[in-house]
Structure 1
Amino acid sequence: MLSSLRTIGLVAALTAALLPAVPASAAPPFAGYAFFYFTGESSPIGEQIYVATSNGNNPLDFREANGGRPILESSLGELGVRDPFILRSPGGDRFYLLATDLKINGGRGWDAAQRTGSRSIMVWESTDLRNWSRQRSVQVSPPTAGNTWAPEAFWDARRGTYVVYWASKLYASSDPGHTGSSYNRMMYATTRDFVTFSPAQVWIDPGYSVIDSTVIEHNGVYYRYTKDERNNSSSSPCSKFITAEKSSDLLSPSYSFVAECIGKATSSSPGLSAGEGPTGFKSNTEDKWYLFIDEYGGRGYVPFETTDLASGRWTMSAGARLPASPRHGTVLPVTQAELDRLNAPPAPVRASADGLVAHWPLVSSAADVSGHGYDGVVAGRASFSSGSLLLQGGHVQLPDNLLTGVQAVTVSADVLVVPAQQTPYFLYGFGNTAPGGAGDGYLFSTGDTYRGALATGNWATEQGVGSGQALPRGVWRSVTLTVGSGVGALYLGGVEVARSSGVTRRPSEVGSGITTANYLGRSVYASDKPFLGRMKNVRLYNRALTAAEVAALR
């Protein structure tokens, strides 16, 4: 699964010594590119991480992987992530993915995000680009910072450490509420493991706002590309575009000027209305470099190219086919094996002999005790107490693709609904968030009229079963939905309360086997009302249990 929340044996390596850089001749040949990005504030799921893969070694021809759905979703901090940056370790055997902890869709707005926003970066690790470690939040900015935006990293062989850099507004220490004026400058810290970081220092401060630096190294020279964030005016005509500098020392406080206004349209060449989030990479097959620049408020990423980094001259690439709505991210050269793994369909879920896929007791964690490793992550206002999960607006984020290959299904849980619960509300949801469209859909149960439904597209494709009665409040009740052989059934307290012969669609048809929005305590859509109360003892089966088996669940 592309965004599995299971730890994949990375913990022990966090403290291991980093391997030395592998000579290019020893590295497997690159056969294509992986493009990690987010899609902007308008996405129905909010800001999360997507990936697209290239058509072989063509750096201008990409298709969405994972069915065009997110591969990673945030369960920490702001519950949204932007500006994903991925790098390969110098030994070539590990990947680190960094992202901004920021959610504008449903968040507090841009001003608050720069005054009292997150001072942390989000980090994931992988050895294969397919399976990812559990997300962690690492605070890197000082208390005077109001935000921590667009983190990137570069292996500094001279110092034997990673240099991580990002943009922050810094406020006076005498202004703890960050109410005064400030501007973004580029900060940096060093790390060897992306767990422990040195104190942050200023890297770029021209006296006005700059953000979104990225670096390309060639023949011992570091070319740095940064967005000039000043308001556009006649006195600063290159504002809102990219400035290029160079240095032989990555951390030099004084880079030499190369060019400005990169990406801006001129009378003789096409360009952008404005640009940010540059990501640069070298062609796998020739001495050519590409700089993708995000035309925010416009087309999203637009590719530019050059054969001479020192010249500072970049030309808009022709004939590019990029994924839909790509925003600030990273293009990473990858091997054929890595490309194949990213493009592979999800594997069918694992199940025990009795059909049990996962069992989440929710006593003190969201761990799956079935032995299949489908651990969940608690997000938002949720906590464990009194032997159950207390949900006060939070939820449990479950791994992706829990319905892959599932021809029939049973979902059972013990729930306690608080008297103040607003309606309509959802107990759980397995599926995807894109409204309508081929390959989407969901499986859910609601509590206000106590019903369950399965859809393979939007609401018009729903087939369900309803009891016509609301769940009782203030008391524990077991709720069970079964779907199989064209029949849907609902049980309350182990007793059947509704049955329908009109549920002919199979769970495996939801998202064509790809589901990236699987939750306990909420629906697949963030705008729907969450479940408020307590939950425990949640089970998922890949078959429809019989009435006797449901009655025997404890």
Structure 2
Amino acid sequence: MRSITSFAVLCALFMQSAMGIYVFSVFTSTSESNMYIYNSTDGLNFNLVKGPAYTPTTGLIRDPSIIRHTDGYYYVSYTTNWEGRDFAIARSSNLLDWTLHTTVSISDTAQARTWAPEIFQDPRTGKTNIIVSLGESLTTFNPYLYTATDATLTSWTGPVAMSGIGPNYIDTFVVWDEESGMYHAYTKNETSKYLEHAVAYNLAGPWTFVQTGNFAGFGRAEGPCITTLADGKYRLFADGYDSGKYIYSDSADLYTWSAYQEVPGGLSGFIRHGTVRNLG
């Protein structure tokens, strides 16, 4: 793991690869209060950009989900509290220096837990969404949509239920497939701890599960994220319950996945639930 302390050096690394550049935001097994940022030129071998890169005043930054917005800034949404009715968004111009951008309050006061806010920039609509898991207890989680109503990602509308997923599903990650014209969601069944696969023609649903149980052989896992590789294939990352490691698996069609392997470079077992983005 190579620490990069100069933005000029970081920019030089970004220019090295015509394949694209991948950015990875995570929390770690040693602290739920610190976010680490990594990057990669191949979507597998990651270098440390900065860690900790951000420590929010709320004291918790689980499940950090990163994007690069059209305004040139990087944004990370994250869980702020084990029991609370909000999630937060931090912003950075260089991946090194982060500040709190906004806190989004949950209007549905019946929900006691607000977990795993995952940013999804919808290629079909051009809208920026956050898929957040809301639940009064561990067995009542459902995914809901929040949608940005301004270009600065400060104002959000929601929650809108993702019909067909839940209750009892958490850590929902969505991919848009242009060829089929469908959205694909990978989400954890909170009872079995298996990642399951649903599809829909609209982001809010109705969603239909097409693969359930331990369909891909990942075992029990959580916090899935999927990035698109330079060759057009997909790579899924997740926390493995059974393995105790951070795993990855590849697919050409979002249905059939390779046997999972551990993320290399000494990161497996250290990094936890985060998001990898291909910024190429």
The two structures have a TM-score, normalised by structure 2, of 0.81
Q: Evaluate the alpha carbon distance shift between residue 182 and residue 243 of structure 1 in structure 2; reply closer, same or farther with a 3 A threshold.
A: closer
Q: Distance in 2 between matches of 1:71 and 1:319?
A: 24
**1:50 maps to 2:36:** yes
Distance 1:63 1:210, change over 3 A: same
CA–CA separation in structure 1 for the residues paired with 2:37 and 2:238: 17
Q: Partners in 1 of 2:229 and 2:46 — Cα distance? A: 14
More strand by share: 2
Whether 1:211 aligns to 2:170 is yes
- The residue correspondences of 1:180-195 to structure 2 (distance < 5 A) are 183-191=140-148, 192=150, 193-195=152-154
Work out the CA distance in 2 between the residues paired with 1:156 and 1:65: 27
Aligned to 2:271: 326
Tell me if structure 1 keeps the 8 A contact 2:216–2:256: no
Aligned to 1:356: none
Contact 1:140 1:197 (C-alpha < 8 Å) held by counterparts: no
Structure number with greater CO (CA < 8 Å, separation at least 6) is 2
1:70-102, Cα deviation, whole Å (9 max, x unpaired): 1110113xx11100001222x362322100013
Please state how far the C-alpha of 1:37 moved relative to its aligned partner.
0.7
Selected match of 2:67 from 84, 87, 105: 87
Partner of 2:21: 32
Check conservation: 2:112, 2:136, Cα contact below 8 A.
yes
Quote the Cα distance in structure 1 between the aligned partners of 2:72 and 2:114: 28
Q: How many residues align?
A: 261
- Report how far residue 259 of structure 1 moved: 1.5
Distance 1:61 1:262, change over 3 A: farther
* Structure 2 residue identity aligned to 1:73: T
**Distance in 1, Cα, partners of 2:48 & 2:123:** 34
Consecutive unaligned residues of structure 2, counting only runs of 5 or more, are 6-16
Match of residue 187, structure 2, among 221, 226, 229: 226
Larger radius of gyration: 1
- One-letter identity of the residue aligned with 1:188: L
1:313 aligns with 2:256: yes
C-alpha spacing 1:202/1:275, structure 2 compared with 1 (3 Å): same
* 2: CA distance, partners of 1:38 / 1:85: 10
Cα deviation for residue 298 of structure 1 reads 4.2
Aligned alpha-carbon RMSD (Å)? 2.8
- The answer on whether the counterparts of 1:302 and 1:316 sit within 8 Å (CA) in structure 2 is no
Question: Separation in 1 of the partners of 2:67 and 2:235?
Answer: 16
Match status 1:303 vs 2:248: yes
Select which of 106, 109, 113 maps to 1:147. Answer: 113
Aligned AA (1:163):
N
1:148 Cα deviation from its structure 2 partner: 0.6
Contact 1:168 1:184 in 2 (8 A): yes
Deviation at 1:52, TM superposition (A): 2.0
SS in 1 for 2:184: strand
State the Cα deviation string for residues 508-528 of structure 1 (Å, max 9, x = none).
xxxxxxxxxxxxxxxxxxxxx
Match for 2:44: what amino acid? L
Name the SS of the counterpart of 2:250 in structure 1. Answer: strand
**What's the % identity of the aligned pairs?**
25
Deviation for aligned residue 1:205 = 5.5
The separation in 2 between residues aligned to 1:141 and 1:299, in whole angstroms, is: 36
Cα displacement (A) at 1:140: 2.8
Query: Does the 8 Å CA contact 1:35/1:330 hold for their aligned counterparts?
Result: yes
CA deviations over 1:371-417 (Å, ceiling 9, x no partner): xxxxxxxxxxxxxxxxxxxxxxxxxxxxxxxxxxxxxxxxxxxxxxx
TM-score after normalising by structure 1? 0.43
Deviation at 1:194, TM superposition (A): 3.0
Greater fraction helix: 1
- Determine the C-alpha separation between the residues in 2 that align with 1:161 and 1:140: 20
Are the aligned partners of 1:49 and 1:70 in contact in 2 as well (CA < 8 Å)?
yes
The CA deviation at 1:30 is 4.8
1:244–1:319 CA distance, 2 compared to 1 (3 A): closer
* Aligned-partner Cα distance in 2 for 1:306–1:98: 26
